[in-house]
Chain A
Amino acid sequence: QKEVEQNSGPLSVPEGAIASLNCTYSDRGSQSFFWYRQYSGKSPELIMSIYSNGDKEDGRFTAQLNKASQYVSLLIRDSQPSDSATYLCAVKRRNSGGSNYKLTFGKGTLLTVNP
């Protein structure tokens, strides 16, 4: 089982719709969860972080975390063509030695918002 799994997509939604991106993780000891956006040819940029169960909202973005189900999601409301990008889920947990933390990324989901 991969540490962080995402559907690679592509996910295509019309402009103005809600885009729903999903991520599952294997390590129950994972502590922090992040969503990064990566435009084609660019480096990832952090858009959301979530640390406890429930929802966290920031503008048009809502991150949802369910630790019991080991599931993280990102909702984008009123999707815009400028939201077209790859969305990477990342999970932070202690490394095998327990002395440090590591951040593991999923493969990413390509989102296309059609005008």
Chain B
Amino acid sequence: EAEVAQSPRYKITEKSQAVAFWCDPISGHATLYWYRQILGQGPELLVQFQDESVVDDSQLPKDRFSAERLKGVDSTLKIQPAELGDSAMYLCASSRFGGGEGTGELFFGEGSRLTVL
């Protein structure tokens, strides 16, 4: 069964350091999402890609966060510098494109849990 791959699963870093997360979506899924989930909260969308283009990054803290999906396949989310409040689970998800039935069904990777000390 096709899966969304993410790495690393766990990352512990000190504040002010740089962190990077990687995601490989399900083959054929044009839409890729990065969500942040703080313990006890629902996932919050950070950035959404359609192929290689960003279609929504309104909630991405652009002073420290960046995301890219250069060839429209895998993606990297970077944080520099990391702050204590960035401790969370970073979830990558993918879906088929469009507005029809079935295209809003997201498939999530296992997530990358970040702890900032």
Contact = CB atoms under 8 A, between A and B. Distances in A.
Decide if A and B are genuine partners: yes
Interface of A: 4, 6, 8, 31-32, 34, 42-46, 49, 51, 88, 90, 92, 94-95, 99-108
B113 to A, nearest CB: 8
Interface residues of B, number: 27
A49 B104 contact: yes
B101 interface: yes
B50 A100 contact: yes
Interface string B38-76: 001111110010100001100000000000000000000
Closest 3 CB pairs of A and B: A105-B42, A92-B104, A43-B108
A39 to B, nearest CB: 12
A42 B110 contact: yes
Contact of A103 (B40, B102, B106, B109): B106
Contact of A105 (B43, B101, B105): B43
Specify which of B33, B40, B98 lies most central, judged by the most chain A CB atoms within 10 Å of its CB. B40
Contacts of B33: 103
Contact of B99 (A90, A101, A106, A108): A101
Contact of B48 (A6, A42, A49, A100): A100
B101 A32 contact: yes
A44 B99 contact: no
17 contacts: A32-B101, A43-B89, A43-B91, A43-B110, A45-B108, A46-B106, A49-B105, A90-B104, A94-B99, A95-B55, A100-B55, A101-B98, A101-B99, A102-B56, A103-B45, A105-B43, A108-B42
